[in-house]
Structure 1
């Protein structure tokens, strides 16, 4: 045992135990708050039947405001094509058909889980633009702000495939994935604060956040993409588009991406092969939605 010059033997050991105890209590307190936050803000998604985390302080109106702000910033940096251009009109017509079927598809999906659809889209101010860019991409922000990049057009090749992509993006907004991501980020911030206040060094923090990323954040993001794939496929089918075009679409997407992306476990998105397998499994259901909801009337309204 180390001798202290003032005759106090082993004085350093209790101090280390005291600090260790404090660190443990800090971690336990934050863990308790994280558990409380999770249970206080969890709910069942009516369209998927799964338990999701949405902070009750984040309202659809809050999401809508954030979506509008982001939309305006994007269009300020990447101006949209003339709304009277051929491609803009074609994309807008696809959006109108999809939007017209949103209430029916939401009700049908919610009924499968014995729930009622919240119909957050009733407050949406739909808008659709096409942006000149080589990006093979599209998005729909909360509040119904939709943009399609021209780089997607040659990959989609036809209206059916374009509807599958746009249905997927619209589904993100309907499923409130933005609010879910913000809530997940708050949960991660609680963990970071716990680590910082408990005295973790930078290397330890990085290790913990890496575990959180691979174990929670990335799988959660991939699940959201899968949910939007399924709902978007049903939406496209209900709007009288051919859902079977989804499979060759993702084959082309894989070719456009070079076919050599990062491993799925390290990505926020499922790889094309996984998506194709899922789409093929959902195809019978999509054809049922097409038979049930596709009709000659009611396929126009919605987007400006």
Structure 2
């Protein structure tokens, strides 16, 4: 029991001291690892990825990806500076690349390293469609969702260790480990991830609107994404992402607020 007390005290101390404020929501978030630890790893992995994949350069599509990325980054800096978060982007090294791959996907690593796959272009269709995706992915990085997932995973591991310290009976321990793994994944980690996706949708809409892109296009993008996938997706409670129909409905509800936010920066007409 003494060991358990030490473990729980350690976890409580981590929770107490390792919190950051999300500049877009004002919420306190987990931060057991710092950006100074994460960014160098992110930059190294990004450079390795680029060296192992075909980066498209000098085309109209590649230029569009860079243009959209730059506008989203400028929008982020405007928003953060206007809301009292000057210097929040310290350490970011923005980079935007189009990579030859049939995946209908894009991502932004911590620190602002962005990749858009060529497979996304036919589904995105327009520059505003690309902005919707890139705004969403940049939002994950700005809200430190990767940092939060790593932190939550660490706490999940601490809980597992605590259970293994308490339980002596092998059969009970085996049952605990199975139940704990399933329970914390379905009941905690997956909802945590879905919450991040919804948050990134909202922040992404703000960013694309401030950058001059119509946030209404985000819902249209997801209608095309649904059609492209044939409507195939796991049940929401077993997914890291909200169900597509729920996502589209939420985005439509959030779009007017994004336009209102853009108006604060003098942006009233959109691409």
Same fold by TM (over 0.5)? yes
Q: Which residue matches 2:21?
A: 44
Structure 1 residue 122 displacement after superposition: 3.2
Q: Which residue matches 2:236?
A: 264
Q: Which residue matches 1:251?
A: 223
Structure 1 residue 26 displacement after superposition: 4.9
Q: Which residue matches 1:106?
A: 80
Residue number among 219, 223, 233 corresponding to 2:195 in the alignment: 223
Q: Which residue matches 2:249?
A: 277
Structure 1 residue 64 displacement after superposition: 1.4
Rounded Cα–Cα distance in structure 2 between residues aligned with 1:33 and 1:61: 22
Does residue 260 of structure 2 align to residue 288 of structure 1?
yes
Per-residue CA deviations over 1:92-114 (Å, capped at 9, x if unaligned) read 11111111111222245xx4xxx
Change (3 A) 1:26 1:214: farther
Q: For structure 2, which runs of at least 5 residues remain unmatched after alignment? A: none
SS at match of 2:264: helix
SS at match of 1:52: strand
Q: Choose 1 or 2 for highest CA Rg.
A: 1
TM-score relative to the length of structure 1? 0.81
Q: Which residue matches 2:88?
A: 120
The size of the alignment, in residue pairs, is: 264
Structure 1 residue 212 displacement after superposition: 0.8
Q: Which residue matches 2:68?
A: 94
Counterpart contact for 2:80–2:88, Cα < 8 Å: no
Structure 1 residue 247 displacement after superposition: 0.9
Does residue 186 of structure 2 align to residue 214 of structure 1?
yes
Per-residue CA deviations over 1:237-268 (Å, capped at 9, x if unaligned) read 01111111011111111112221211111111
Point out which structure has higher relative CO (alpha carbons under 8 A, 6+ apart). Answer: 1
Structure 1 residue 294 displacement after superposition: 5.0
Residue number among 21, 35, 43 corresponding to 2:12 in the alignment: 35
Does residue 122 of structure 2 align to residue 154 of structure 1?
yes
